Structure 1
Amino acid sequence: MNQSHIRIAIVDDQRLFRGGLRMILDQQPNFRVVFEAGNGKQFFERLAFEPVDVVILDVEMPVMDGLETLTKLSNDHPDIRTLMLTMHDSDRLINHLMQLGASGFLLKDEEPQVVCQAVEKVANEGVFFRDYVSKALLRSSRSTASNLAADRLLNAKLSERELQVLDLICKEKTSKEIADTLYISIRTVEGHRRSLQEKTGAKNLAGLVLYAVRNGMV
């Protein structure tokens, strides 16, 4: 991204947790915590006046929880990247959050350096997956075999170049790295990414990875 700082919002109903997380993020010179909020409603009230690049969003909150907030964000602000926070790493929850448009998923007991890495990656690359997220998606793809036949039909609509780009996205390559690998321009990479999202119905890069996993491509 062009700006010098990654603008961050922390949305969690536990004030002490928000404060601790803010202290961790504030230590990074390229991070700027723009504001904190105790629920989704407060978040959208602040967002109207203070734009952000990344939202660290708790799943369980009063008034307006993380699921409702994520859904509205995906629909109204698709350019904002969302990292979901939760105490639970159930396969069902992870899959649901990815389908709603989350850019990544973090447990609340992650190490501080993992949180910083996650913010950096979703801001600059659009997606962040921990091992347990990838495993949850794979287990889900095996348990929903009936859906794969319908999903595979979409593969016929993907060009060879789009499949190459999708493969590199799943390997967490940046647009520049994809462009260098395939000897094409970054603008062309972005065009392929938009086309992939339109053809697969994915809301963001995480959705493209989810699509690839469900089709047995990774």
Structure 2
Amino acid sequence: MSKLKIFLADDQSLVRSGFRMLIDAEDDMQVVGEATNGMGALSALSNEPADVVLMDIRMPEMDGVEATRRIVEAGLPTKVLVLTTFDLDEYVFAALKAGASGFMLKDARPDDLLSAIRSVADGEAVVAPSATRRLLEQVVSKLPEDPGKTDERLEVLTDREREVLVEIAKGATNSEIASTLFMAEGTVKTHVGRLLSKLDARDRVGLVLIAFETGLVD
């Protein structure tokens, strides 16, 4: 089995060293490159894309938000997992909007970070639970002023799809959604795929943002 290729973008050498030691100790992944800023990461990944890049937010020359945006706009196959020291600073929401597949805190448990890397590489999206509150604070200001008005984006969804979207917004996994809504996990995956298509969302993070922006979840 080929190993997942992981790229590190962080301006602190000690942080990169710690992540490299953790990742290279795993049988299914390895660090294939490093950069001290977004410009270096973009240049390296353009020449040889990795499966996942661990992207710091605050870096010199080009920050993680701009680097994420350019990676997505360039159509590179590399998934972006944003890392931040804070629960949610002002740049993380922008990074998610730019196309990041999720974000984790730098003080996350090693097992949680490794699990997040694997999930992102597998096409899932990851949002650190402890950062959810501040993410919602960012979204609340963008919610419709009239809570009784249905956003037109939701009109294309069936009642069941709305129920699944609500659970996704709560951070539930497919297996948890299956248990809560009494359906097979395969059926949940089908609903998730339809939601991504109907709402033109890149991944589950996009679905979460839409759920809050449309007022489906408050």
TM range (shorter): 0.7 to 0.9
Verify the 8 A CA contact 2:64 2:95 in the aligned structure 1. Answer: no
> Is the partner of 1:90 in helix, strand or coil?
coil
**Partner Cα separation in structure 1 for residue 89 and residue 45 of structure 2:** 30
Q: Does 1:172 align with 2:170?
A: no
> Is the partner of 1:89 in helix, strand or coil?
coil
Q: Greater shift after overlay, 207-216 or 12-21?
A: 207-216
Residue 157 of structure 2: aligned partner = 158
Verify the 8 A CA contact 2:120 2:126 in the aligned structure 1. Answer: yes
Verify the 8 A CA contact 2:196 2:203 in the aligned structure 1. Answer: no
> Is the partner of 2:103 in helix, strand or coil?
strand
> Is the partner of 2:5 in helix, strand or coil?
strand
Q: Does 1:181 align with 2:180?
A: no
Residue 82 of structure 1: aligned partner = 80
Residue 39 of structure 1: aligned partner = 37
**Partner Cα separation in structure 2 for residue 17 and residue 151 of structure 1:** 45
Cα distance change, pair 53–166 in 1 and its aligned pair in 2 (3 A):
farther
Q: Greater shift after overlay, 86-95 or 160-169?
A: 160-169
The within-5 A match list for 1:202-213 is 202-213=201-212
Residue 135 of structure 1: aligned partner = 133
**Partner Cα separation in structure 1 for residue 79 and residue 95 of structure 2:** 13
In the alignment, structure 1 segments of 5+ residues that lack a partner are none
Cα distance change, pair 152–190 in 1 and its aligned pair in 2 (3 A):
closer
**Stretches (4+) displaced over 4 A:** 147-151, 167-170, 182-186, 188-191
Question: What RMSD in Å do the two structures reach over aligned CA positions?
Answer: 3.0
Q: Does 1:59 align with 2:57?
A: yes
**Partner Cα separation in structure 1 for residue 150 and residue 206 of structure 2:** 13
CA deviation map 1:106-143 (0-9, x unaligned): 22222222221211221224211222222223333434
Q: Amino acid of the residue matched to residue 212 of structure 1?
A: A
Number of matched residues? 209
Counting aligned pairs with the same residue, the percent is 31
**Partner Cα separation in structure 2 for residue 183 and residue 204 of structure 1:** 17
Residue 7 of structure 1: aligned partner = 5
The within-5 A match list for 1:100-139 is 100-139=98-137
Q: Amino acid of the residue matched to residue 216 of structure 1?
A: L
Between structures 1 and 2, the one with greater helix share: 1
Residue 197 of structure 2: aligned partner = 195
Q: Amino acid of the residue matched to residue 11 of structure 1?
A: A
Q: Amino acid of the residue matched to residue 210 of structure 1?
A: L
**Partner Cα separation in structure 1 for residue 102 and residue 124 of structure 2:** 9
Q: Amino acid of the residue matched to residue 118 of structure 1?
A: A
CA deviation map 1:11-49 (0-9, x unaligned): 111222111110011111111211111112222222233
Cα distance change, pair 168–39 in 1 and its aligned pair in 2 (3 A):
same
Cα distance change, pair 64–117 in 1 and its aligned pair in 2 (3 A):
same
CA deviation map 1:152-210 (0-9, x unaligned): 22111223454355356442228xx89x8265596x56752541342xxx333211112
Measured after TM superposition, the shift of residue 63 of structure 1 is 1.7
Residue 216 of structure 2: aligned partner = 216
